[in-house]
Amino acid sequence: MAEPSARHSDTEREEKKADGASSKIYIRGSSVLPPRDTPDQHSNKNRLQQAEDEHEDEEEEDKGKESSGLAATKQGFLLSQFAKSGRGGGRGGGGGRTAELSPPSESSAPSRRSKSIYTPLEQQVIELKQQHKDALLAVECGYKYRFFGEDAEIAAKELNITCHLDHNFMTCSIPTHRLFVHVRRLVSHGHKVGVVKQTETSAIKASGANRNTLFTRQLSALYTKSTLVGEDVNPVCKLGNVEDGDCGDVVLDPPDSFLLCISENWDKLKKQLTVGLVAVQPSTGDVLLDCFADGQSRSELETRVLKINPVEILVPSDLSEQTLRLLQSITNASAQADDRVRVEKRDRDEFEFTSAMNTVTEFYCHTQEKGSRSLSGVASLESPVICCLGPLIQYLQEFNLERVLRSERCTQTPSEGMILSAATLRNLEILNNQTDGGVKGSLLWVLDHTCTPFGRRLMRKWVSQPLTDPSVSERQDAVQEILESDSLTLNSTRSLLSHLPDLERGICSIYHKKSSTQEFYLISSSLSRLGLELQALLPAIQSQISSTLLRGLLLDTPDLLAPAHSFLKVLNEKAAKLGNKTELFSDLSGFPVLQERREQIQAVLDEIQDHRKEIRLTLKAPALDYTSVSGQEVLSVCVCLRLRVKDSTKAVSRYHSPFLVERYKKLLQLREQLLLDCQREWTNFLDQFGEHYHTMKRAISHLATMDCLFSLAEVAKQGDYCRPEVCENQRQIMIRDGRHPAIDLLMGEHNQYVPNQTELQGDARRTMIITGPNMGGKSSYIRQVALICVMAQMGSYVPASEARLGILDGIYTRMGASDNIYKGRSTFMEELTEASEIISRATERSLVILDELGRGTSTHDGIAIAYATLEYFIRDVKALTLFVTHYPPLCELERAYPAHVSNYHMAFLLNEPDIAADTDGMCGNFCAHVKMLQCIWGLTDALQFKFRTILTLAISE
């Protein structure tokens, strides 16, 4: 058969997998690249498609005839993405991403009555792949897992292993004991991975009617970035406590792994867009619900996405272009493929309210678990939230992780905390720095001294959602007591929190009934030990701890942890650590099925031992005994006509009697049946522990809170930190000797950061206009003021000698000069959009920071925009405002509003050019400082002279 000419192929088939560094957007079973990343791919059209067309022509001529062999062949033809590619394999799976299935030659083509050209295993894999087209399938084959077809090519490239041709498909394999390593690596690159296991055991299959057929295989688990929950992918099973750092090449879980579902609803009458959000973290059980109105810029959505920090996002296929651009800008924010957010497009029909409501009703109407959400409570949610909840339920059901959505206590809605917009989170570097997107240099980096994974997650929430209620003082009291108290009770409590495993993820894995025996023992023993040791500290806690918050947490936790001890007593420690489920339960009185199976096994063993006595008497060989060779028990004797030779060596001959062969088969069947029974009992055991999930979750929340309080106390121990006075009913910011927390820490312990004063009064001078030279510290100063306010309202001490602050309802910032290609905005457009959002949202209890507004356009236009905007904030909004500018006309606003506006500039010393401080008054021109510019930019003498001349002329005019 001649080769067909090259043609364009269907892009949804061909572009199955992008380059490792590109973001992926999955469309319900396939993946396509964002428009800018899509290569122009060509491939030879599958010759099997021609055979398929010929078969259709034959069907038209003779519709009564049907060929089973060709039909089986056609089944494989339809999986052109899953077929073998090229003529050679090699490392990384050869060249192209799209695989082809080449048919046999014309002479060997099957006739209409011939059998399928696929092996039984290949037929089985094809059927599995048809059911799970969007997943890379790792198929268990004895002692290894194998990938087939295009799955093999992708896995070979991502895992750096060899891919080769075997029968009809490309294939590669990984050993069973390394499954968790390779699955995690594939998932970290954005793939959905399915694990297919053999569902039959050899002994039970051998005794059945289908003993000569292929082992049955079924998909046992699916994994994506947000759903890495299960025994197959848990490093604890293989490595013990991974927190000690002995993790080798395992890709560990990120601190947060939220799955976010987004829906949009456009109201034509109100001309308003409403966005619904449901975020779930299957590994910890946290669920967030939200519904809000948003504008063209999608700033509200961006703020929530940045705070939630999802690793995977589900969206409808008809998502608006503006939202899609926003998500693309977020998914491409990291240069590392492992850090990219996985975005999957689902059928838009799933997001229709009627369809989603049917799914939600069916899911919650059968809920009878204690602590679960009722159907009436769910039905009262806003329609955009329902439109998210329905598809999310369907998605998690594929992974058997939907149970967490029933939990009412784990469901949260956005609190009434301080508003920190997406621009504020970025500009103030609260969660990540702006250099490489890492944590170092951010406010979170300064404050996070937690020693537990669940404490680390809570600290991120505290930093991104500062309080606006009197509970700020409760946290401050707790931090102050930890800082000043010499109580051994607090020191003991802190030491108890050290080196704990991730208890929050552990109990959630148990709740999903996906925990291994190793993980269960590690979690339950840790919970039990914590409960007992805190119980022993109760008298000291009651007498020594005065903080209301600390006392409540420490007194409540032991009772909540009490159930863990009863579950731990049932387990055999050695068997649990080895993963041996047949010896797992030390007392079988509560497991009658296992006890009966053990008795059956013992009865067969007794029969075998009695048979040994008979053989000894018959052969008159009292020393004759059973031995084990290759895992099989046999008799070792010299000769006997009644026995059948098993095998022999020069030194010894081994025999099987017919009775022993029959009893040994029965023994193997019972042992394998015992293993299945143990698995069922283990699942039931996990389900019983899951009844205490909400209690344990609450206890771990207490532990996380204590960990965060200890962390804030560590921050307060740094030099020159003070407890700020937070005034609920006042509008003011008074800071003495304030410093930028991150820069101060980065510069070391040499007091290099120059402290500054800040004083803003809501009813008096509430606006500071700040001028000064470039690189003089203006931006650092205004960031410093905002960060100190954030730290104070989350209950932390602050880097200052004294601070008195009113409670702010929000901090709004407009800083920097950059365009946004993904959103289609120029630098000037970005400025105006952010300024407009601040104008519409800021109140008199807000802090507004505007850094060089208007520099994205011409000088005259920029002055006009900056002047009008600042005057609006002074006269109408009346918010506390810090305004940085290089435009001298703006300083005239001090004369127009002398009671509310003050001019300041950054002063510096010429003999120490790095020292700058905030000083009263308007700053003059900087012609005298051209020498400093020469140091920075290396200006030549001629250029300096020209600069002086032009600047002098401009000033005189």
Residues of each domain in the chain carrying CATH 3.30.420.110: 259-414
Topology (CATH level 3) of domain 6-244: MutS, DNA mismatch repair protein, domain I (3.40.1170)
Residues whose CB is less than 8 angstroms from the CB of residue 93 and which lie 6 or more positions away in sequence, other chains included: 85, 152, 153, 154, 156, 157, 163, 170, 172
pLDDT digits (tens, 9 = 90+) for 173-223: 999 989 989 999 999 999 999 999 988 777 676 766 667 678 889 999 999
pTM, rounded to two decimals: 0.82
State yes or no: pLDDT of 843 exceeds 70: yes
Residues of each domain in the chain carrying CATH 3.40.1170.10: 6-244
For range 517-522, the mean pLDDT: 93
Residues of each domain in the chain carrying CATH 1.10.1420.10: 448-717
Three-state secondary structure string covering 836-905? HHHHHHCCCCEEEEEECCCCCCCHHHHHHHHHHHHHHHHHHHCCEEEEECCCHHHHHHHHHCCCCEEEEE
> DSSP H helical segments within 34-146, as ranges?
47-61, 68-77, 120-131
State yes or no: pLDDT of 267 exceeds 90: no
Inter-residue long-range contacts of 371-377, CB under 8 Å, 24+ positions, other chains counted: 371/407, 371/408, 371/409, 371/693, 371/694, 372/406, 372/407, 372/408, 373/405, 373/406, 373/407, 373/408, 373/411, 374/408, 377/408
* CB of 59 closer than 8 Å to CB of 51: no
Of 774, 713, 815, nearest in space to 430 by CA: 815
Q: Check residue 208 and give its pLDDT.
A: 65
Q: Which amino acid is at 291?
A: C
Phi, psi of 531 (to 5 degrees): -60, -45
Dihedral of alpha carbons 631, 637, 638, 641, sign: negative
* CB of 444 closer than 8 Å to CB of 431: yes
- Please state, in angstroms and rounded to a whole number, the distance separating the CA atoms of residues 94 and 156: 9
Q: Using CA atoms of 589, 593, 597, 600 in order, give the dihedral in degrees to the nearest 10.
A: 80
pLDDT digits (tens, 9 = 90+) for 325-354: 888 888 776 656 667 889 999 999 999 999
Dihedral of alpha carbons 499, 501, 504, 507, sign: negative
In which element (H, E) is residue 323 found? helix 321-331
pLDDT digits (tens, 9 = 90+) for 686-714: 999 999 999 999 999 999 999 999 999 99
- Across 103-107, 719-723, 767-771, least confident range: 103-107
Q: Check residue 375 and give its pLDDT.
A: 77
Pairing type for strands 802-806 and 725-727 reads parallel
270: helix, strand or coil: coil
Q: Check residue 201 and give its pLDDT.
A: 74
Q: Check residue 338 and give its pLDDT.
A: 67
State yes or no: pLDDT of 273 exceeds 60: yes
Which CATH architecture is the domain 727-924 placed in? Answer: 3-Layer(aba) Sandwich (3.40)
Pairing type for strands 136-141 and 193-198 reads parallel
For range 468-473, the mean pLDDT: 90
pLDDT digits (tens, 9 = 90+) for 811-830: 999 987 665 555 566 777 77
> Around Cβ 43, how many Cβ atoms within 10 Å?
18
- Please state, in angstroms and rounded to a whole number, the distance separating the CA atoms of residues 523 and 505: 9
- Across 87-91, 179-183, 240-244, 504-508, least confident range: 87-91
In which element (H, E) is residue 626 found? strand 626-629
Tokens of 756: 């500054």
Inter-residue long-range contacts of 139-143, CB under 8 Å, 24+ positions, other chains counted: 139/196, 139/217, 140/176, 140/195, 140/196, 140/197, 140/198, 140/217, 141/173, 143/175, 143/176
* CB of 223 closer than 8 Å to CB of 190: no
Q: How far is CA 555 from the centre of its chain?
A: 33
Unique residue bearing structure tokens 């004895």: 142
Tokens of 718: 């740094």
- Please state, in angstroms and rounded to a whole number, the distance separating the CA atoms of residues 504 and 450: 15
* CB of 742 closer than 8 Å to CB of 445: yes
Which residues does residue 948 pair with via DSSP β-bridges, in sequence order? none
For range 244-250, the mean pLDDT: 49
For range 441-464, the mean pLDDT: 95
Q: How far is residue 908 from each of residues 777, 781, 911, 918, 936, measured CA to CA in Å?
A: 10, 14, 9, 9, 15
Report the chain's mean pLDDT, rounded to a whole number.
80
Phi, psi of 46 (to 5 degrees): -60, 125
Tokens of 48: 């099997």
Q: How far is CA 729 from the centre of its chain?
A: 39
Residues of each domain in the chain carrying CATH 3.40.50.300: 727-924
Q: What percent of the chain has pLDDT over 70?
A: 74
Q: In CATH, what number does 448-717 get?
A: 1.10.1420.10
For range 759-768, the mean pLDDT: 91
Inter-residue long-range contacts of 472-477, CB under 8 Å, 24+ positions, other chains counted: 472/726, 472/792, 472/793, 472/794, 472/795, 472/807, 473/726, 474/547, 474/548, 474/549, 474/795, 475/549, 475/709, 475/712, 475/794, 475/795, 476/723, 476/726, 476/795, 477/547, 477/548, 477/549
pLDDT band at 411 (very low <50, low <70, confident <90, very high): low
pLDDT band at 268 (very low <50, low <70, confident <90, very high): confident
State yes or no: pLDDT of 48 exceeds 50: no
Domain 259-414: which CATH class?
alpha beta
Which residues does residue 288 pair with via DSSP β-bridges, in sequence order? 279, 412
